[in-house]
Amino acid sequence: MKLHLYCILPASLLVVLQFIPVIRHRLILFHRVDGYIIVVLSLLSGAGVILICRHAFGGDYVIQVWSGALVILTTIGYIMAWINNLVALYTCSNASSLATATSCGSG
């Protein structure tokens, strides 16, 4: 199953762009779209891992458990990041003081 490789290789190349300060601060829309693409590709890659873990490295039970655990933990991490992003957007949209608005990046 090549789904895992076809998804994780582009995601791993795109994730490098997430840490370049110029892109993160000046090209905010590109940074956000790049992040969404990375998340979708990584989740599809996790699905590919689940499909191939019975055959990877001999298909031992330990390999299957650890592969499943890594996919679950990665998915939980993406969910936590998404919730954190929603909370930050909600907090910034309800900013009433200048100090809060400045810390949200609007000033």
Q: Tell me: the pLDDT tens digits for 2-24?
A: 899 999 999 999 999 999 999 98
Q: Which domain holds residue 51?
A: 3-103
| Radius of gyration of the chain, Cα coordinates, nearest whole angstrom | 18
Given this model, what pLDDT does residue 107 score?
42
**4 CB-near residues (< 8 Å, 6+ apart):** 45, 48, 49, 51, 52
Given this model, what pLDDT does residue 40 score?
95
Q: Which of 46 and 59 is assigned the larger pLDDT?
A: 46
Question: Average of pLDDT values for 24-32?
Answer: 91
Domains: count for the chain: 1
pTM for the model: 0.78
What does the mean pLDDT of the chain come to? 86
